[in-house]
Amino acid sequence: MFKKYAIFSFFIFLLSACGTDYYYSSFVIRRDLHWLTPSSEQANLSDHLSIASSYTFNTYTSPSVIATPANYILTIYEVRDNPNFNKVLGVDGSSVVNVKLNISLDAKSFKERAFTVGKSASISADSKGSPIAFLNAKGEVVVLAIGGFGLSDGNAKSESEIFKSKSTNNGYQWSDWEKLETNVFEPLLKDKYDRYYTNPGNGITLKNGTLACMIDFKRRGTGNTNPEGAAILYSTDGGEKWQIGGKMMYNGKYRSARIIAERTDGKLLIAAVSYTDTVDYKYKGPLKWGIADTINSDIKDFSVTGLPTANSSGTVSGGRINYVYNNQSANGIILLHSGPDRPYVGPNGLPYTVVNSSSVSVSKDEGQTWTTITNIVGTQYKDRASYRQSLFVLKDGTLALALEEGNSYDISSASGQHFVLVLRRISLDALSEGTYKYGGL
């Protein structure tokens, strides 16, 4: 009996001595990671989690969400130590900004909160922000972030800096920030574009394993932080080395381009949001759409139909999903975006107008035409506005949505109309009240 007890005790000692990587992937919590839900049980699936709440405007921003092969759900976001009401971009050479994350094991709560990605900054020169999260072919999580002075002119004459960090154990530990080499950006530098900014949210992993995202760029000396265009930034080796691919010129007031999806023909579907010179969380404008024939080709204009002509100046996000509609199966592209103003009657019986509410649309013809599923994301907090947002399609076909969600029917820097970061896991079935369902792998 004593011998059996000694062997068991030694085994427990080995588990605890192996570090968080082995410990958190062992049988100890494996049952907590069984949150995947069959399509037949998704009719009412709608969970709402608070990522970070703040009474100071613009403290927690720019969320992204990703799930690892071991079913850990990570929300990655920016934290500003000295937030400014009138700045959408946090990293500017004078602010102190860090990248944090929360970890959920059950898709209903966060087991751990506010882990730091990379090394924490205490001065502006070390700031990192506007994170882009990727899942590589090994199941590792890679994060890119802007550092230094971003798109601001600043006092520095050298180019902006983009950094990377990686976790091999589901977000519990991260490598120190490592700067991407200057020669990565030579295709932009040769045209004097020396200011860059990582467009926050989820990057995309292509079918061949390539990691790809968009970064905004401009020339130093323009006197503002308005980008002139966007370029594809990609890695073919899981996030170690990076290259600049095709680019698009905005030719207008656009920013925050995102790769929405890889089409079945291998082309990349891209969208950017419009904006005004002043920070206005109620602003609505048209999306700018583009298509890249290959990862290195210039991005051409692309026309779509079926979407509202006015979207938030926050962000858009997308992915691919199999779904069933009218008893017919399709593999389509799903889009998280803003919808038109929506009337809402509060519990007090008074009418309100929800500005820039999150909406979900789907396209079955590779992005040419769209059908809006809903402009009410979930059954909770129907009165809430939104701004920056990210979407990740989970293994079971449910949607993980990381949102800057207003705590009211619109967002402004006025008292009582702030936003907080939330994670929503919801099914197509619940979003559409049974009209759309997940179609399986």
Residue with tokens 């992937």: 25
**Position 265: which residue type?**
D
> Residue ranges per domain, the chain?
1-33, 34-438
Return per-residue pLDDT of the chain as tens, 441 residues: 444 444 444 444 333 333 333 333 333 434 579 999 999 999 999 999 999 877 688 899 999 999 999 999 999 999 999 888 788 999 999 999 999 999 999 999 999 999 999 999 999 999 999 999 999 999 999 999 999 899 999 877 889 999 999 999 999 999 999 999 999 999 999 999 999 999 999 999 999 999 999 999 999 998 889 999 999 999 999 999 999 999 999 999 999 999 999 999 999 999 999 999 888 898 999 999 999 999 999 999 999 999 988 889 999 999 999 999 999 999 999 999 998 888 888 888 999 889 888 999 999 999 999 999 998 887 777 888 899 999 999 999 999 999 999 888 889 877 678 899 999 999 999 999 999 999 986
How many Cα atoms are found within 13 Å in the side-chain-facing hemisphere of 365?
8
Cα 421 to its chain centre, rounded Å, is: 12
Q: What is the pTM of this model?
A: 0.91
Task: Give how far the C-alpha of residue 114 lies from the chain's centroid of Cα atoms, to the nearest Å.
Answer: 17
Q: Which residues of 305-324 are buried (b: 16+ CB within 10 A; e: fewer)?
A: eebbebbbbbbbbbbebbbb
What is the pLDDT, as a whole number, of residue 177?
A: 98
Whole-number pLDDT of residue 20: 33
Query: Which fold, 34-438?
Result: Neuraminidase (2.120.10)
Residue 115 CA: distances (Å) to CA of 56, 79, 102: 20, 11, 6
Straight-line distance from the first to the last Cα atom of the chain, in angstroms, rounded to the nearest whole number: 49
pLDDT on residue 394 = 97
Q: Are strands 128-135 and 201-202 parallel, antiparallel or unpaired?
A: parallel
- Cα diameter, the chain: 78
Residues 6+ apart with CB under 8 A from 436: 323, 324, 325, 362, 373, 428, 429
Bridge partners of 77?
A: 100
Contact 61, 77 (CB under 8 A): yes
Give the H or E element holding residue 5: helix 2-17
